[in-house]
């Protein structure tokens, strides 16, 4: 066990910083083992803070070479987390020189090296590993940076200044917090373009990559230009510097980072060619490029007062990127995908030991709170706000937000106040979405009497750690009505439910309609509603709300699977016929049909069983799901074969949504057909594929039915020189392995020389692949639990952030039977008891164990 428990930071303890900063000047003398960082910072007392004669600066792992105040050398008191020094009463200049070693920085936070290039990651608290500084988001300042280094390309934030051989200067006029600082130096080449903003500003756009990768940047560049245009058109927000740089790096703890004017990306979310990237990769690149770009206004120009307000920038920016993707592609398909992701990650979090409010109240390590709750539920909350106030008022409020708070570090209170001022509404109750954790349950009961339909809604939110009692939340419930003949009756009503229970009566003129509840997934809640299989099938066939049409099929599939597992029932023909009708309906978007055809995953089924008071048996779930796939394949063999042929996309590959949707449906058909054709079509598709979507899709289809060894080997031979494609290979094998072989297969793969486990993408591919194989992860032997714990223990001292994040593999441990619970608990305790365990991982396993 650790010697002393690290202290939690509390929202309630916020105090403004003692000083303001007028300017920051940094000089970097780059060297892998001994980089020197010189800082000159102009401080003045903060009128909003309690005055004091001491200055506290954050700093970790820094060797102080010298320090001076107003040109006079000083000797600050240095401890593990920073320094304290006496300062004059008024304004003063702080100067310091420190030494750091980027080459040995494996945590990938601060200044580090990836494949021979220097790069930085400062959010949330990495800047303190670069120099002594008030490393908190409410301290904003303009930065001037000088880089001296033996590298052809030297980049930092803002606009470029003087450049000479081995020296570059950058100037960022927009005040920013230190977490948005970035520096890159390396042997890089640019894919360049230009953009003229609606304000007439000429912007040079560059995507910097390693030589050889420049032909894989076109899609990211196109996505960037579309994002810039969209933010002007939809939010009236233009870019504000003369250059926008993006750099792709191979070693990165997450997806990407919105540093001002210098976004740094995991190369996985930049580099794409038809041969190496799937449709899904292209879609993610588009979404993440947009997300980071949109942060320029929601995050950078207006930032967070403290890290508890993280959802202020993340929830809003996710919401904006979802809107963008919906506009670029199909809005209904994007909505379903967003909800799938929300349920898969956020509901899972909200219903387990890691549940926390969208705005958390305390943390030990802030990096542990870049969660699905802050991001995805945070985005849902914005979506609800927009639904409640209406589109016009939403954009009016956003304009007020940008006008009122530009250049500031804000809170959720500031955000809601803008909406209150713009609309005159009181949002006190709505605010509970930010402060109460847990997923509300919405019970729906219907009665038809006296020619009227009465709907009674009851909300409740189960207790979550630290939050036992829940108050009613404001839930917008969109309700539509379908005539028994299948057409729409009345208008869709948005009911703003603010009490525990509400009853509404609709005059349906003597006809008993089928209600379509929570259209568009109008709130992030779990609907509990008893419908017959016939009613669900009716909604699947007739609902005009695409989300609820899909949802009806989804609910039906879950009920069928639960009945197969719990009562050994055969899948009813109504379900099979319903799916067949969707499959055969050429008026429906192929991407939508592909989503309807996809069965819920095993983890989702496990959660459904658990919610229904049953203990999920991973083997039974696995077997039932496969049985249902086989049944579907047999029942739908003819339309599947027709669809497979009809959805072939002629001509050269294009990543557009239309072509991608056809390929998605074709792959859905291929996957099912594999159960009855022995993988024949998949094998020939694999052999003929000229793009990664079809190649990897065919391989996955083969692996799912226990075939594909030969193709997996061929894939490895073909792609051994491509890191990103090899990540797919490392992931697919454990992911699709037979449950009893998954852990052993992972172990063997982890012994390969090309299992570069210090690279987060590679580690996440292999270990995440095993974790994604539900029955493999939970194999009764417990081998997978033990193997994952071994690897997390090994990674923790090298990269705490990635380790901590991956401990969430175990967050559902309480769902399972006593044996499995005990094995998972043992794995978690083994991690918890490691001497010197990181604060990151320590906090996570502590919370998971509860
Ligand atoms: N803001 C970054 C995430 C930083 C994570 C720090 N552990 C990327 C994003 O959300 O856009
Ligand atoms: Zn973000």
Kindly identify the ligand whose nearest atom is closest to the C-alpha of 107.
1
Closest listed ligand to the CA of 256: 1
What is the best residue among 254, 270, 375 to mutate for testing ligand 1's pocket, by most ligand atoms within 8 Å of CB? Answer: 254
Calpha distance 823→825 (Å, rounded): 5
Q: CA 711 from chain center: how many Å?
A: 31
Mutate to test the pocket of ligand 1, among 300, 370, 374 (most ligand atoms within 8 A of CB): 370
Task: Using pLDDT thresholds of 50, 70 and 90, give the confidence band for residue 4.
Answer: low
Q: What's the rounded mean pLDDT across residues 803-828?
A: 98
CA nearest ligand 1 atom 4, residue: 123
- Give the integer Cα–Cα distance in Å for 633 and 638: 9
Give CA separation, 165 vs 149, 153, 801, in Å: 9, 10, 36
Ligand 1 probe mutation, 107, 109, 123, most atoms within 8 A of CB: 123
Catalytic residue (one of 95, 292, 314, 380): 292
The topology under which CATH files domain 297-525 is: Neutral Protease; domain 2 (1.10.390)
Nearest Cα to Cα of residue 184 among 246, 127, 266: 246
Query: Around 620, how many Cα atoms within 13 Å sit in the side-chain half-sphere?
Result: 18
How many C-beta neighbours within 10 Å does residue 760 have? 23
For residue 291, the ligand 1 atom closest to its alpha carbon is 11
> Whole-angstrom Cα distance, residue 730 to residue 485?
51
Q: CA 318 to CA 377: how far, in whole Å? A: 10
pLDDT tens-digit series, residues 237-264: 999 999 999 999 999 999 999 999 999 9
Q: What is the pLDDT of residues 306-339, one digit of tens each?
A: 999 999 999 999 999 999 999 999 999 999 999 9
Distance CA 502, CA 354 (A): 31
Residue with tokens 């000479």: 164
pLDDT per residue over 408-426, tens digit each?
999 999 999 999 999 999 9
| Distance of CA 825 from the midpoint of ligand 1 (Å) | 30
Question: Which ligand has the nearest atom to the CA of 292?
Answer: 1
Q: What is the mean pLDDT of the chain?
A: 97
Ligand with minimal distance to 298 CA:
2
As a whole number of angstroms, the distance between CA 487 and CA 278 comes to 38
The residue nearest atom 8 of ligand 1, judged by CA position, is: 257
Q: Measuring CA to CA, which residue among 772, 725, 271, 724 is closest to residue 712?
A: 725
* Ligand minimally distant from the alpha carbon of residue 179: 1
Structure confidence at residue 150 (pLDDT): 96
CA of 364 to the centre of ligand 1 (A): 17
Cα(52)–Cα(23) distance, integer angstroms: 21
- For ligand 2, the distance from its centroid to the CA atom of residue 307, given in whole angstroms, is 13
Structure tokens at 29: 């003398």
Q: Is 634 a catalytic residue?
A: no
DSSP 813: G
Task: Give tens-digit pLDDT for 591-647.
Answer: 999 999 999 999 999 999 999 999 999 999 999 999 999 999 999 999 999 999 999
In 144-260, which residue ranges form alpha helices assigned H by DSSP? 218-235
Q: Are strands 243-249 and 202-209 parallel, antiparallel or unpaired?
A: parallel
Q: Which two tokens mark 478?
A: 């969109």
CA atoms within 13 A of residue 543's CA, in its CB half-sphere: 26
Q: Report which of 705, 590, 574 is spatially closest to residue 643, judged by C-alpha positions.
A: 590
Residue 630 CA to ligand 2 center (angstroms) comes to 41
CA-nearest of 767, 757, 770 to 797 is 757
In the beta sheet, which residues pair with residue 29? 36, 148
Q: Which fold has domain 720-850?
A: Zincin-like fold (1.25.50)
For ligand 1, pick from 107, 109, 253, 257 the residue to mutate: most ligand atoms within 8 Å of CB. Answer: 257
Atom number in ligand 1 closest to CA 258: 11
- Which amino acid residue places its CA nearest to atom 7 of ligand 1? 367
Distance, CA of 310 to CA of 302 (rounded, Å): 12
**344-376 as b/e, with b when 16 or more CB fall inside 10 Å?**
bbbbbbbbbbbbbbbbbbebbbbbbbbbbbbbb
Q: Where are the domains of the chain?
A: 9-187, 297-525, 720-850
- For 76-85, what is the mean pLDDT? 98
> Which residues contact residue 372 at a Cβ distance below 8 angstroms, ignoring those fewer than 6 apart?
341, 342, 345, 346, 348, 349
Give which of 71, 277, 222 is closest to 725, Cα–Cα: 277
DSSP conformation class of 440: P
pLDDT computed for residue 2 by the predictor: 41
C-alpha 257 – ligand 1 centre gap (Å): 5
Spacing, Cα 184 to ligand 2 middle (Å):
20
Q: Is pTM, for the whole model, over 0.85? A: yes
Q: What is the pLDDT of residues 652-677, one digit of tens each?
A: 999 999 999 999 999 999 999 999 99
> Do 366 and 339 touch, CB atoms closer than 8 A?
no
Q: Is the pLDDT of residue 6 over 90?
A: no
Q: Measuring CA to CA, which residue among 533, 541, 625 is closest to residue 574? A: 533
Task: State the distance from the centre of ligand 2 to the C-alpha of 291, rounded, in angstroms.
Answer: 6
Tell me how far apart the alpha carbons of residues 773 and 782 are, in angstroms, rounded to a whole number.
Answer: 14
Q: What is the 258 CA–ligand 2 centroid distance (Å)?
A: 7
Contact 544, 480 (CB under 8 A): yes
Of 85, 78, 80, 95, nearest to 42 (Cα)?
Answer: 95
pLDDT of residue 188: 98
Give the number of the ligand closest to the Cα of residue 367.
Answer: 1
Average pLDDT over residues 51-68: 96
End-to-end CA distance of the chain: 16
Can you tell me the mean pLDDT for 75-99?
98
If you take atom 10 of ligand 1, which residue's CA is the nearest one?
314
Residue spans of beta strands (DSSP E) within 367-450:
409-410, 441-449
Question: What are the CA-CA distances from residue 849 to residues 607, 799, 806, 824, 845 (Å)?
Answer: 19, 21, 15, 10, 6
Distance in Å, CA 618 to ligand 1 centroid? 34
Of all protein residues, the one whose alpha carbon is nearest to atom 2 of ligand 1 is 257
Measured in angstroms, how far is the CA atom of residue 256 from the centroid of ligand 1?
Answer: 7
Average pLDDT, integer, range 526-548:
97
Where residue 52 falls among pLDDT bands split at 50, 70, 90? confident
Q: Are 23 and 42 in contact (CB under 8 A)?
A: yes
Q: What is the DSSP letter of 129?
A: G
Q: Residues lining ligand 1, judged by CB closer than 6 Å?
A: 123-124, 254, 256-258, 291-292, 295, 314, 367, 370
pLDDT class of 510 with cuts at 50, 70, 90:
confident
Provide CB contacts within 8 A for 626, sequence distance 6+.
none
Cβ-based neighbours of 223, under 8 Å, separated by 6 or more: 285, 286, 289, 290
CATH tag, 9-187 = 2.60.40.1730
CA distance 348 to 276: 32
CB atoms near residue 503 (< 10 Å): 11
Q: Is the dihedral of CA 162, 163, 167, 171 positive or negative?
A: positive
> For a substitution probing ligand 1, which of 180, 258, 368, 844 has the most ligand atoms within 8 Å of its CB?
258
Residue 322: φ, ψ to 5°: -70, -40
Q: Please name the residue whose Cα sits nearest to atom 5 of ligand 1.
A: 123
pLDDT above 70 coverage of the chain, percent:
100
């Amino acid at each position: 066990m650790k010697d002393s428990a690290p202290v939690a930071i509390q929202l309630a303890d916020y105090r403004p910083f003692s000083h303001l900063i007028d300017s920051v000047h940094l000089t970097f003398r780059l060297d892998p083992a001994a980089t020197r960082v010189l800082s000159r910072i102009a401080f003045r007392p903060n009128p909003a803070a309690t005055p004091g004669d001491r200055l506290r600066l954050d700093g970790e792992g820094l060797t102080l070479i010298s320090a001076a105040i107003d040109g006079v050398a000083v000797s600050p008191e240095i401890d593990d987390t920073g320094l304290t020094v006496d300062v004059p009463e008024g304004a003063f200049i702080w100067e310091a020189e420190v030494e750091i070693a980027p080459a040995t920085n494996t945590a990938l936070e601060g200044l580090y090296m990836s494949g021979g290039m220097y790069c930085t990651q400062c959010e949330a608290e990495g800047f303190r590993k670069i120099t002594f500084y008030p490393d908190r988001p409410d301290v904003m300042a303009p930065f001037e940076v000088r880089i001296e280094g033996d590298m052809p390309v030297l980049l930092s934030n803002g606009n470029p200044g003087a450049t000479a051989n081995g020296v570059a200067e950058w100037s960022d006029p927009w005040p920013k917090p230190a977490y948005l600082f970035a520096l890159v130096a390396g042997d890089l080449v640019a894919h360049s373009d230009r953009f003229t903003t609606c304000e007439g500003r000429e912007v040079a756009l560059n995507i910097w990559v390693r030589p050889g990768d420049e032909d894989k940047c076109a899609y990211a560049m196109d996505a960037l230009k579309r994002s810039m245009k969209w933010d002007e058109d939809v939010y009236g927000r233009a870019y504000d510097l003369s250059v926008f740089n993006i750099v792709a790096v191979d070693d990165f703890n997450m997806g990407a980072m919105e540093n001002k004017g210098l976004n740094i990306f995991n190369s996985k979310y930049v580099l794409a060619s038809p041969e190496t990237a799937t449709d899904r990769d292209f879609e993610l690149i588009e979404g993440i490029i947009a997300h980071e770009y949109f942060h320029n206004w929601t995050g950078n120009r207006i930032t967070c007062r403290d890290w508890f307000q993280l959802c202020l920038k993340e929830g809003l920016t996710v919401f904006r990127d979802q809107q963008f993707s919906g506009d670029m592609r199909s809005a209904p398909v994007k909505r379903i995908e967003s909800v799938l992701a929300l349920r898969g990650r956020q509901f899972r979090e909200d219903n387990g030991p890691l549940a926390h409010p969208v705005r958390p109240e305390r943390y030990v390590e802030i990096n542990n709170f870049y969660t699905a709750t802050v991001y995805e539920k945070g985005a849902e909350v914005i979506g609800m706000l927009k639904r409640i106030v209406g589109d016009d008022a939403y954009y009016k409020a956003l304009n007020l937000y940008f006008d009122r708070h530009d250049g500031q570090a804000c809170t959720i209170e500031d955000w809601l106040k803008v909406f209150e001022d713009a609309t005159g509404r009181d949002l006190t109750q709505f605010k509970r979405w930010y402060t109460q954790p847990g997923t509300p349950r919405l019970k729906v009961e219907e009665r038809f009497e006296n020619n009227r339909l009465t709907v009674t809604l009851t909300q409740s939110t189960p207790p979550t750690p630290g939050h036992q009692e829940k108050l009613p939340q404001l839930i917008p419930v969109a309700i539509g009505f379908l005539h028994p003949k299948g057409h729409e009756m009345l208008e869709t009503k948005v009911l703003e439910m603010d009490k525990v229970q509400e009853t509404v009566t609709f005059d349906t003129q003597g006809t008993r309609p089928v209600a379509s509840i929570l259209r568009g997934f109008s709130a992030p809640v779990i609907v509990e509603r008893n419908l017959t299989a016939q009613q669900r099938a009716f909604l699947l066939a007739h609902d005009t709300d695409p989300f609820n049409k899909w949802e009806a099929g989804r609910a039906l599939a879950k009920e069928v699977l639960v009945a197969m597992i719990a009562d050994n029932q055969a899948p009813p023909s109504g379900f099979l016929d319903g799916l067949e009708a969707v499959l055969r309906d050429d008026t429906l978007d192929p991407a939508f049909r592909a989503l309807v055809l996809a069965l819920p995953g095993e983890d989702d089924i496990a959660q459904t069983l658990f919610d229904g008071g049953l203990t999920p048996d991973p083997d039974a779930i696995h077997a039932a799901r496969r049985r249902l796939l086989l049944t579907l394949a047999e029942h739908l063999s003819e339309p599947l074969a027709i669809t497979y042929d009809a959805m072939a996309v002629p001509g050269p590959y294009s990543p557009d949504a239309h072509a991608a949707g056809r390929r998605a449906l074709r792959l859905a058909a291929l996957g099912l057909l594999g159960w009855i054709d022995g993988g024949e079509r998949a094998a020939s598709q694999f052999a003929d594929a000229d793009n990664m979507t079809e190649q990897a899709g065919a391989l996955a289809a083969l692996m799912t039915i226990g075939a594909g060894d030969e193709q997996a080997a061929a894939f490895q031979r073909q792609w051994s020189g491509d890191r990103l494609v090899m990540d797919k290979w490392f992931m697919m094998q454990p992911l699709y392995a037979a449950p009893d072989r998954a852990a052993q297969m992972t172990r063997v793969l982890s012994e390969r020389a090309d299992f570069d486990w210090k690279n987060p993408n590679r580690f996440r591919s292999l270990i995440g692949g095993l974790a994604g194989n539900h029955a493999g992860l939970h194999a009764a032997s417990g081998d997978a639990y033990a193997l994952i714990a071994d690897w997390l223990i090994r990674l923790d001292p090298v990269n705490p952030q990635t380790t901590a994040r991956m401990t969430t593999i175990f967050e559902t441990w309480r769902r399972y039977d006593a044996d499995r619970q005990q094995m998972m608990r043992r794995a978690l305790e083994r991690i918890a008891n490691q001497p010197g365990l990181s604060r990151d991982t320590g906090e996570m396993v502590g919370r998971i164990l509860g």
